[in-house]
Structure 1
Amino acid sequence: MSEQITDRRIRLGMVGGGEGAFIGGVHRIAARLDDRYQLVAGALSSDPERARRSGAALGLDPARSYSDFVEMARAEAARPDGIQAVSIVTPNHLHAPVATAFLQAGIHVICDKPITRTLAEAEALAEQVAQSGALFVLTHTYTGYAMIRQARAMVAAGALGPIRVVQVEYPQDWLTEPVSEDGTKQALWRVDPERAGAAGALGDIGTHAMNLASFVTGLEAREICAELTRFVPGRQVDDDVQMMIRYDGGAKGMLWASQVAPGNENALKLRVYGAQGGLEWAHTAPDTLRHTPFGEPPRLLSRGGPGLAPEVAALGRVPAGHPEGFLEAFATLYSDAADAILAHASGAPASEGSLPGVADGVQGMRFVEAALRSSDAGGIWCAL
């Protein structure tokens, strides 16, 4: 693969995300929102005809629309104008083999979460990242929100004092009923342990919740006590997760993730409390952050408003009062990844800043496997 860069746009490939896929379209929009990428190649489906149609619909050169990701990695690495990064937007069981193929070809990887199906796969992939020297970015979307980064900056600056309590919840309702064969494509694979892994809601959205709590607080979970439930008859993976958490440093937490909570579309919420105050953020109002200093009136910080950390104030794309949301948060991750890729190409010291990476993915799988062990043993405390 050539590292030569003629402009600030990264030549991007994609594996997965063809006809009928949801997350592939999200990644493509995010990559283009700040004009940092150009999609030039793809293995959008393992079915050759579907791959051809999907590539044609996106305007890809037919010669660079592949049905085999191994062939795509080999061919793109050999081209002087080959891709510099690949987005992996497949079901979970393909994350590790696809990422490995491109890392071995020297191509940077931007991968949807969770990183893999199992901890063993995640640890093996981490070794591949280290050997390749390429960048690996894990798209924990919610870390891209401006006010989440403001919360992180405030905690790091000591605005809350020592952290005592961390509460995070992520309820949805879209899997409240059984998924039939005429259901959506993304629903079918998420309830299939062969493709999603042993964790259902735990892996799909529980990993987001845990990552968000650690991203903001800087704390890592040390032990968890979890109960995973399959409420829908016949379901093979969990659809509701409830747990208590012991963090390094003595902080305590609780996490609830559910995909069977009617009335909740995507109601991620984080509350962090320290000795000197608290912070509250909700995905339903992502442009605001509630700060409650102890003994003082509450304060409402807003994206684009006064009182933000300099690095957060620079994130907005539209003026204050004009809402930004999920796509913009995703685009922030892609823009940060583009900066890291450009720095890598120039030989500058690698700095991935706030970007989630392979270490976050491995920690996420430690969290998943500890939760599964805890629940299977009747809710005992398990170390990560």
Structure 2
Amino acid sequence: MAKLIRYGMVGGGPGSFIGKVHRMAANLDGKMRLVAGSFSSDSEKSRRMGSQLNLQPDRVYESYQQMAENEAALHEDKRIDVVSVVVPNNLHYDVCKTFIEAGVHVICDKPMTNTLEEAEELCRLVAKHNTLFALTHNYSGYPMVKEARQLVEEGTLGTLRKVVVEYPQGWLARSVENEAEVWRLNPNIAGISSTIADIGTHAEHLVRFITGAEIEELYADINTFVDGRTLEDDANLLVHYKNGMRGILYASQVSIGEENALKIRLYGDQAALEWEQEQPNELRLKYPDKPEEIYRRGNSYLSEAARYHNRIPAGHPEGFIEAFANIYSNVADVISARKSGAQPDKLAMDFPTVQDGARGVHFIHKAIESGKQQKWVDMDYTPPT
């Protein structure tokens, strides 16, 4: 039996929603064990979080720099194999860089960095130090999203013509309590974008993951509806893809009443498909001359990729945590293979990489550029390898 992969976490301290999600995902399949962390810049909070998680006190650190240095100095049978980075955007680059240079694999929340220069430097560092880097575009972890990609690859939809992807939320529809403290609205922390960086990049990656299509050019209409905000809270994009497909991307956090309504509709010249995150266990196929088909997670008729990323039988819903867990599970399997000198399973290699991160940062910056200048912008881009 493969040994548990030891992981550490930077961020995810008391009250952190996303830190808790990452820990649940990492623990779900019994392949990883949390052994170290620097959970907050407040050392008392970090110690308290470490105590709650039953970590050894000497593996709970006051800073991520101290954590990287001390962990790298430990024997290879004790130190962390991978670090989970769940800090605000402005810290992603420094934290990731520090651990990559220490020879530690990285799992990082999106967007990868706040600037394209930082993103490209991480690409170069990952290649230089031969580390794994996984970006948690968790929606690519859903089995039915992987089924959608397989159907596109098999030509079931025919030639792709149009995609409509939407990600509406309503939690910022009105001014929120202590809005100045919401880091996603603070350009000093979030960077140049709020809504596009937070959820628009998920929508863009979902299209790219399913179709493999790269954007040729885009036109963005960005808006800030709530008075007093510096960054956008709504965005509408027209997108032209290199394969001739045309797209509409809508990301909004002022769509009142919406919760987390990510949805994609993809139209070819033979068929169409539809998937929505709030009903993730179903994938709908539509045809011009026969009834609609509904594919359901957990069934034997699905593709190998969808079955590989499935845990329980049909009729038992899987969701958000499991999609995150598929990324963690795959990273654990690839690290285990590396340790044993084996070739990783191709299906385990199915997670977003540092290059996906760079493409996402490029998308964010170009969308904001287009929105501010009110013009079409060229999207041609190849990240460093």
- The TM tier, using the shorter chain, reads over 0.9
What residue is the counterpart of 1:3 in the other structure?
Answer: none
Tell me the amino acid that sits aligned with residue 328 of structure 1. Answer: E
Alpha-carbon distance between aligned partners in 2 of 1:21 and 1:343, rounded to the nearest angstrom: 32
Alpha-carbon distance between aligned partners in 2 of 1:13 and 1:50, rounded to the nearest angstrom: 16
Alpha-carbon distance between aligned partners in 1 of 2:235 and 2:3, rounded to the nearest angstrom: 42
What residue is the counterpart of 2:353 in the other structure?
Answer: 357
The answer to whether the 8 A contact 2:2-2:336 is kept is: no
Q: CA deviation at 1:349?
A: 4.5
Alpha-carbon distance between aligned partners in 2 of 1:99 and 1:217, rounded to the nearest angstrom: 29
What residue is the counterpart of 2:383 in the other structure?
Answer: none
Q: Which moved more, 1:279-288 or 1:341-350?
A: 341-350
Deviation string 1:115-164 (CA, Å, 9 cap, x unpaired) is: 01111111111111111101000000100001000000110111111111
What residue is the counterpart of 2:110 in the other structure?
Answer: 113
Identity %: 47
2:160 to 160, 163, 174: 163
Q: CA deviation at 1:342?
A: 1.2
Alignment partner of 1:63 is 2:64 = no
5 Å-filtered alignment, 1:3-22, equals 7-22=2-17
Alignment partner of 1:237 is 2:234 = no
Alpha-carbon distance between aligned partners in 1 of 2:335 and 2:222, rounded to the nearest angstrom: 39
Deviation string 1:332-378 (CA, Å, 9 cap, x unpaired) is: 11111111111222233466632101111010011111111111112
What residue is the counterpart of 2:74 in the other structure?
Answer: 79
What residue is the counterpart of 1:208 in the other structure?
Answer: 202
Alpha-carbon distance between aligned partners in 2 of 1:161 and 1:113, rounded to the nearest angstrom: 32
Q: Which moved more, 1:65-74 or 1:300-309?
A: 300-309
Tell me the amino acid that sits aligned with residue 279 of structure 2. Answer: A
Q: CA deviation at 1:206?
A: 0.3
Alignment partner of 1:130 is 2:127 = yes
Deviation string 1:79-129 (CA, Å, 9 cap, x unpaired) is: 110000000000001111000110001100000001011111111111111
The answer to whether the 8 A contact 1:371-1:382 is kept is: no
Q: How many residues align?
A: 376
What residue is the counterpart of 1:39 in the other structure?
Answer: 34
What residue is the counterpart of 2:363 in the other structure?
Answer: 367
Alignment partner of 1:307 is 2:301 = yes
Tell me the amino acid that sits aligned with residue 296 of structure 1. Answer: K
CA RMSD in angstroms comes to 1.5
SS in 2 for 1:59: coil
The answer to whether the 8 A contact 2:168-2:252 is kept is: yes
Alpha-carbon distance between aligned partners in 1 of 2:242 and 2:339, rounded to the nearest angstrom: 37
Q: Which runs of 4+ in 1 moved over 4 A?
A: 349-352
Alpha-carbon distance between aligned partners in 2 of 1:353 and 1:272, rounded to the nearest angstrom: 25
Q: Which moved more, 1:203-212 or 1:121-130?
A: 121-130
Deviation string 1:52-73 (CA, Å, 9 cap, x unpaired) is: 1111111111101001101101
Q: CA deviation at 1:379?
A: 3.6
The answer to whether the 8 A contact 2:28-2:325 is kept is: yes
CA spacing shift, 1:270–1:8, aligned 2, 3 Å: farther
Alignment partner of 1:223 is 2:217 = yes
Tell me the amino acid that sits aligned with residue 190 of structure 1. Answer: R
Tell me the amino acid that sits aligned with residue 313 of structure 1. Answer: R
Q: CA deviation at 1:9?
A: 1.5
Q: CA deviation at 1:180?
A: 3.5
Alpha-carbon distance between aligned partners in 2 of 1:291 and 1:59, rounded to the nearest angstrom: 47
SS in 1 for 2:243: helix
Deviation string 1:169-212 (CA, Å, 9 cap, x unpaired) is: 0000111122332x697xx1111111111110000000000000
Alpha-carbon distance between aligned partners in 2 of 1:139 and 1:36, rounded to the nearest angstrom: 17
SS in 2 for 1:117: coil
What residue is the counterpart of 1:104 in the other structure?
Answer: 101
2:187 to 193, 197, 200: 193
Tell me the amino acid that sits aligned with residue 284 of structure 2. Answer: R
Tell me the amino acid that sits aligned with residue 272 of structure 1. Answer: L
Tell me the amino acid that sits aligned with residue 148 of structure 2. Answer: A
